[in-house]
């Protein structure tokens, strides 16, 4: 059965988030665009430092400023640009219409307040409920995320809960106000493998029940394949490939994506060593002029070092940012310059 997503709830257009530091300008997010439809799960994958987390913090307006600043683009949530909103308007969206789960369940909860208090706080803030009703709702949320004896657990402080349980509390907190968009920033990275599967299952089933759209940020391609509908692969602050999860796995287009998939251990082959992508991610203060992956790319031609193509639409599902898929690929790069591609 194929899921149908029609209504676009979130549309990011050419988002740019830069950090102005003493060492120079770091273009952490450098012109990315994607769409999120109602009830859909979008995966954002990439290595550390590729700009995944900065993208998600940008969506909520939580970029630490200074040194960070969103310098361009737009974030359309239900048709309205979040970047044009006041801080007060953003506060009524955060935790209410768009909420977020963080990577570190061990440190993301406040150690001096009980789990229940921290969930009830968001409920009281956004749903204007009384103390008692909010508490009952918090307990209800804990039950929903599968915490046994939620009445008792709600009264406990974070240090009395395990890592998996804390992440469940975070999920309960994030979903307490039935947000339309849930951003999960590496929600399972800090957890045991057995707990990882449980947490992902939980997010998936709650998403189905509540109809929430999810942005799942991860570096785990297995998780993406299991969980996501569509995927954006990020490299050095840009989206290099934007496609369906299935297509990404079966038919990757961008050399970086191909490299990532090749570096996964395979059960069906006898491997002595894992394949790696040569070189390292370029320094954010010293980005190459052209395609930022070109220095590590086995296929790179001179034109790749000159400029980077916009996302090219290959078919209905797939967009890729690589010269290989353009008509210019077979011709000399000097001709390209004459044509004047940016």
3-class DSSP state for residue 12?
strand
- The residues facing 214 across adjacent strands are 41, 182
Q: Which residues in the 202-231 window bind another protein by CB under 8 A? A: none
With CA atoms as reference, report the closest residue to 322 among 258, 250, 275, 230: 258
d(CA 250, CA 277): 19
| 8 A C-beta contact, residue 207 and residue 182 | yes
Comparison of 14 and 92: residue with beta carbon closer to another protein = 92
Establish how many alpha carbons lie within 13 A of residue 25's alpha carbon, considering only the half-sphere containing its beta carbon.
Answer: 10
Site membership for another protein, residue 287 (CB under 8 A): no
Which region, judged by CB under 8 A, interacts with another protein, from 65-73, 109-117, 207-215, 299-307?
Answer: 109-117
CB of residue 117 vs another protein: minimum separation in angstroms? 10
Comparison of 170 and 231: residue with beta carbon closer to another protein = 170
- The binder of another protein chosen from 9, 15, 100, 223 (CB under 8 A): 100
With CA atoms as reference, report the closest residue to 95 among 206, 185, 172, 201: 172
Quick one: CA torsion of 260, 261, 265, 271, rounded to 10 degrees? -100
- The binder of another protein chosen from 32, 45, 82, 93 (CB under 8 A): 93
Site membership for another protein, residue 122 (CB under 8 A): yes
Comparison of 90 and 312: residue with beta carbon closer to another protein = 90
Establish how many alpha carbons lie within 13 A of residue 54's alpha carbon, considering only the half-sphere containing its beta carbon.
Answer: 29
Site membership for another protein, residue 188 (CB under 8 A): no
- The binder of another protein chosen from 18, 102, 256, 323 (CB under 8 A): 102
Q: How many binding residues for another protein (CB under 8 A)? A: 28
- Residues in contact with another protein by the rule CB under 8 A: 60, 62, 90-96, 99-100, 102, 104, 107-113, 121-122, 125-126, 157, 159, 170, 173
């Amino acid at each position: 059965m194929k899921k149908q997503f029609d209504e676009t709830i979130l549309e990011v257009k050419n988002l740019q988030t830069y950090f102005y530091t003493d060492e120079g300008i770091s273009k952490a997010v450098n012109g990315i665009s994607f769409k999120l439809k109602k009830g859909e799960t979008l995966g954002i994958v990439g290595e550390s430092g590729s700009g995944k987390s900065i993208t998600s913090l940008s969506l909520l307006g939580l970029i630490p400023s200074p040194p960070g600043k969103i310098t361009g683009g737009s974030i359309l949530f239900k048709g309205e640009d979040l970047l044009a909103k006041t801080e007060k308007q953003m506060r009524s969206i955060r935790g209410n219409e768009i909420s977020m789960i963080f990577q570190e369940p061990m440190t993301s909860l406040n150690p001096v307040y009980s789990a229940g208090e921290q969930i009830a706080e968001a409920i009281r803030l956004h749903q204007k409920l009384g103390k008692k009703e909010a508490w009952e709702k918090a307990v209800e949320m804990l039950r929903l995320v599968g915490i046994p004896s939620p009445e008792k657990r709600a009264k406990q402080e974070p240090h009395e809960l395990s890592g998996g349980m804390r992440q469940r509390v975070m999920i309960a907190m994030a979903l307490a106000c039935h947000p339309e968009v849930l951003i999960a920033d590496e929600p399972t990275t800090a957890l045991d493998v057995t707990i990882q599967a449980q947490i992902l299952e939980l997010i998936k089933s709650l998403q189905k029940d509540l109809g929430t759209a999810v942005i799942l940020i991860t570096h785990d391609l297995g998780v993406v394949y299991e969980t996501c509908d569509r995927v954006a692969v990020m490299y050095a602050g840009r989206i290099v490939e934007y496609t369906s999860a299935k297509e990404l796995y079966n038919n990757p287009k961008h050399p970086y994506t191909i490299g990532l998939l090749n570096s996964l251990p395979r059960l069906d082959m006898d491997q002595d060593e894992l394949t790696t992508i040569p070189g390292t991610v370029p320094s954010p203060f010293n980005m190459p002029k052209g395609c930022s992956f070109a220095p590590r790319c086995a296929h790179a031609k001179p034109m790749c070092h000159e400029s980077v193509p916009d996302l090219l639409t290959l078919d209905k599902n797939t967009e890729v940012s690589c010269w290989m898929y353009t008509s210019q690929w077979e011709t000399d790069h000097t001709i390209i310059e004459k044509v004047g591609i940016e």
